[in-house]
Amino acid sequence: MTHIDSATTIREGEELDKATVGEFLKDSIPGLSGDLTISQFPSGYSNLTYLIEMGDKKLVLRRPPFGTKAKSAHDMGREYRILSTLQGTFPYAPKPLVYTEDESLIGSPFYVMERIEGIILRKDLPPALKYTPEEAGILGKNLVDVLLELHAVDYKKIGLANEGKPKGYIKRQVEGWSKRYRAARTPDAPDFEKIMEWLEKNQPEDSDRSSLIHNDFKFDNIVLDPTNPLQIIGVLDWEMATIGDPLMDLGAVMAYWIDKDDSEEMQLIRLQPTHIEGMMTRKEVLNYYLEKSGRNLENFAFYQCCNLFRLSTIAQQIYYRYYHGQTRDKRFAMLVFAVQVMERVIVSILEQKG
Q: What is the pLDDT of residue 71?
A: 52
**Domain(s) of CATH 3.90.1200.10: residues in the chain:** 133-353
**pLDDT tops 90 at residue 251:** yes
18-114: CATH number: 3.30.200.20
Interior CA angle at 65 toward 20 and 187, to 5°?
Answer: 150
Residue-wise pLDDT tens digits, 1-38: 457 778 889 988 899 999 999 999 999 999 898 889 99
> Please, which pLDDT band fits residue 106 given cuts at 50, 70 and 90?
very high
* Average pLDDT of the chain, as a whole number: 92
Predicted TM-score (pTM) of this structure = 0.92
Q: Which helix (H) or strand (E) segment is 52 a member of?
A: strand 48-54
Residue-wise pLDDT tens digits, 271-294: 999 999 999 999 999 999 999 999
- Exposure pattern of 96-119 as b/e (b: 16+ CB <10 Å)? bbbbbeeeebbebbbbbbebbebb
Helix 246-256 vs helix 282-293: crossing angle, to nearest 10? 160
End-to-end CA distance of the chain: 50
Q: What is the pLDDT of residue 299?
A: 83
Phi, psi of 231 (to 5 degrees): -95, 130
Percent residues over pLDDT 90 in the chain: 80
- Answer yes or no: CATH 3.50.50.60 is held by domain 133-353: no
Query: Could you give the CA distance from residue 50 to residue 111 in angstroms, rounded to a whole number?
Result: 11
- Which residues make Cβ contacts (< 8 Å) with residue 64, sequence separation at least 6? 47, 48, 71, 74, 76, 108, 109
Residue-wise pLDDT tens digits, 54-94: 988 999 999 998 765 545 556 899 999 999 999 999 999 99
Residue-wise pLDDT tens digits, 114-139: 999 999 999 999 888 999 999 999 99
For residue 258, give Cα distances in angstroms to 83, 220, 246, 299, 324: 29, 14, 21, 20, 31
**Domain(s) of CATH 3.30.200.20: residues in the chain:** 18-114
Interior CA angle at 75 toward 114 and 337, to 5°?
Answer: 95
- Exposure pattern of 281-319 as b/e (b: 16+ CB <10 Å)? ebeebbebbeeebeeebeebbbbbbbbbbbbbbbbbbbb
Of 72, 69, 80, 67, the C-alpha closest to 110 is 80
Of 221, 240, 241, 242, the C-alpha closest to 232 is 221
Residue-wise pLDDT tens digits, 295-306: 888 788 999 999
